[in-house]
C-alpha cells in the first residue's frame, strides 16, 4: 500500500493502535483502567437538545464554516463566567472537531520547518505527530516529580529557547495528575511575552481540580499576546463521542487555525453546536458534580495505595493516577504483569515520553465498585515494592 515518506516517519498513535483490541488476561474478570473516557452519561438536557436539533431543517444543510453565532457566544459567555476572561467571538474563538484535531493541526498552522517545539515529557502522546507533520523539531520539555511536573524555564538551553516557536503545556497534566497555579502561568507569560515563542495550553481536564479550581492560562495578564487555550467538552460533560472542542486566545493563532479548517472541514454539524451551546450555558452545576465524583474516587483510591505503602504521584487534578512501577519492572513489563496476575489493564508510561518509563497510568473513569476491586487487587502487589 502506498504511503508518503512523511507519514511513514510518524509513529503510530498509541491509543489508535490499542483501543478496542482484544486483551488476553488472567483468570479474574478484566478491569480496564487504561481508557481516559469518563464513564457517566451525557446530561439529559444536552441529549434532549441534540435530539431536537437534529430535526431542525437548517441543521440538515451546510452551516457557516466557522460556526453558529449562538455557539460562539456561549463560549465567550462561559469563559467570562468561569474565568473572568473577555473574548472576541469572531477573532479569538475557533471551534474544533474534537480538541485532538486542533492540537495536532496547530504546528502546521503556526511553525515552519526546522523550528523547535517544546513538548511536555511526560505529556499527551499525539502532540508529537503534529510537530512531525509540520517538519519541525520536537524537543523534550522535562517534567519531574521534584518540581511537581512543572517546567523550569531556566533549565532549558538558551539556544534551544531562541529557536523555539511553540510550547505545549497541559494542566491538569495527562498523565501525571499534576496541576498548574496562576503564579506559574503568570511567570510563563512574562517569560515569553516579548519573544517569538507562542504557547498552547491543552485544558482538556479543566473541570477536575481537587484542591482548588484550575486556572486558565488566559487569566494571566498579557496572555492573549502569546497564548491560546484548547478546551474540550469531552471530559467535563461526558461528551467524548460528540467530538466537540474549541480554541480561544491569541487572534493570530486562531486565524491560522480557522484558515486551515476552511481547507479541511466544511463546518460542524449544527445539531452538535446546539447541544454544545446548551452544555456551556446550562450545565455549570454538572461540572461541579463531575469534579466531586472524581475527587471522591481519588481520595479512596489513593488511601488504598497509602495503606500498603505503594508509591504514586499525588493526584491534584484530571482523571488519571500516575503509579510508579516496582523496581524490577519498567512500565511495559508491569502492564503485562498486571494483566496476567490481576486482570487489570493500565497504560504504560513510555508512550507519554521517556520520563514515563517506570510508571503506568491508571484511569479513575470507572464505577466505584470497579475502582474498589482494582485497588484491592493492587494492594495484593505491595510486596513487589518492598
Q: What is the pLDDT of residue 8?
A: 85
Q: How many CB atoms lie within 10 A of CB 358?
A: 17
Question: The pTM is what?
Answer: 0.95
User: Residue 18's CB: how many other CB atoms inside 10 A?
Assistant: 16
Residue by residue, what is the 3-state secondary structure of 345-364?
ECEECHHHCHHHCCEEEEEC
In this structure, are residues 10 and 16 in contact, taking their beta carbons and an 8 Å threshold? Answer: no
What is the pLDDT tens value at each position of the chain, 386 positions in all?
Answer: 588 888 888 888 776 655 556 777 778 989 999 988 888 999 999 999 999 999 999 988 888 788 899 999 999 999 999 999 999 999 999 999 989 999 999 999 999 999 999 999 999 989 999 999 999 999 999 999 999 999 999 999 999 999 999 999 999 999 999 999 999 999 999 999 989 999 999 999 999 999 999 999 999 999 999 999 999 999 999 999 999 999 999 999 999 999 999 998 888 899 999 999 999 999 999 999 999 999 999 999 999 999 999 999 999 999 999 999 999 999 999 999 999 999 999 999 999 999 999 999 999 999 999 999 999 999 999 999 98
pLDDT, position 64: 77
pLDDT of residue 23: 74
Per-residue pLDDT at 18 = 57
| Per-residue confidence (pLDDT) for residue 38, from 0 to 100 | 84
Q: What is the model's pLDDT at position 99?
A: 92
Where do the domains of the chain lie, and which CATH numbers do they carry? Answer: 5-42+285-385 (3.90.1150.10), 44-283 (3.40.640.10)
Residue 148: CB atoms within 10 Å: 17
Residue partners of 288: CB distance under 8 A and separation at least 6: none
Amino acid at each position: 500500500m502506498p504511503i508518503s515518506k512523511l507519514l511513514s516517519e510518524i509513529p503510530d498513535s498509541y491509543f489508535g493502535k490499542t483501543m478496542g483490541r482484544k486483551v488476553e488476561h488472567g483468570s479474574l474478570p478484566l478491569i480496564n483502567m487504561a481508557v481516559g473516557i469518563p464513564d457517566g452519561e451525557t446530561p439529559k438536557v444536552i441529549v434532549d437538545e441534540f435530539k431536537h436539533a437534529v430535526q431542525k431543517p437548517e441543521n440538515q444543510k451546510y452551516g457557516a464554516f466557522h460556526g453558529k453565532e449562538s455557539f460562539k457566544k456561549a463560549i465567550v459567555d462561559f469563559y467570562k463566567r468561569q474565568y473572568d476572561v473577555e473574548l472576541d467571538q469572531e477573532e479569538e474563538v475557533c471551534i474544533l472537531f474534537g480538541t485532538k484535531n486542533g492540537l495536532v493541526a496547530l504546528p502546521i498552522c503556526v511553525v515552519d520547518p526546522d523550528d523547535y517545539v517544546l513538548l511536555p515529557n511526560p505529556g499527551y502522546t499525539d502532540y508529537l505527530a503534529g510537530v512531525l507533520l509540520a517538519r519541525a523539531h520536537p524537543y523534550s520539555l522535562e517534567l519531574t516529580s521534584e518540581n511537581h511536573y512543572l517546567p523550569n524555564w531556566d533549565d532549558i538551553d538558551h539556544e534551544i529557547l531562541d529557536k523555539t516557536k511553540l510550547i505545549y503545556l497541559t494542566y491538569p497534566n495527562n498523565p501525571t495528575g499534576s496541576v498548574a497555579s496562576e503564579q506559574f502561568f503568570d511567570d510563563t507569560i512574562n517569560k515569553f511575552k516579548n519573544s517569538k515563542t507562542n504557547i498552547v495550553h491543552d485544558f482538556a481536564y479543566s473541570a477536575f481540580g481537587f484542591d482548588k479550581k484550575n486556572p486558565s492560562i488566559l487569566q494571566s495578564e498579557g496572555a492573549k499576546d502569546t497564548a491560546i487555550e484548547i478546551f474540550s467538552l469531552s471530559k467535563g460533560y461526558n461528551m467524548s463521542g460528540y467530538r466537540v472542542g474549541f480554541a480561544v486566545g491569541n487572534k493570530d493563532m486562531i486565524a491560522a487555525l480557522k484558515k486551515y479548517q476552511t481547507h479541511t472541514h466544511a463546518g460542524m454539524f449544527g445539531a452538535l453546536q446546539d447541544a454544545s451551546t446548551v452544555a456551556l450555558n446550562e450545565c455549570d452545576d454538572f461540572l461541579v458534580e463531575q469534579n466531586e465524583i472524581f475527587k471522591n474516587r481519588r481520595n479512596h483510591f489513593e488511601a488504598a495505595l497509602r495503606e500498603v505503602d505503594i508509591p504514586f504521584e499525588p493526584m491534584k487534578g484530571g482523571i488519571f493516577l500516575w503509579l510508579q512501577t516496582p523496581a524490577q519492572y519498567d512500565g511495559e513489563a508491569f502492564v503485562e504483569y498486571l494483566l496476567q496476575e490481576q486482570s487489570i489493564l493500565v497504560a504504560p508510561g513510555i508512550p507519554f515520553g521517556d520520563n514515563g518509563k517506570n510508571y503506568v497510568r491508571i484511569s479513575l473513569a470507572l464505577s466505584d465498585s470497579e475502582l474498589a476491586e482494582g485497588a484491592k487487587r493492587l494492594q495484593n502487589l505491595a510486596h513487589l515494592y518492598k
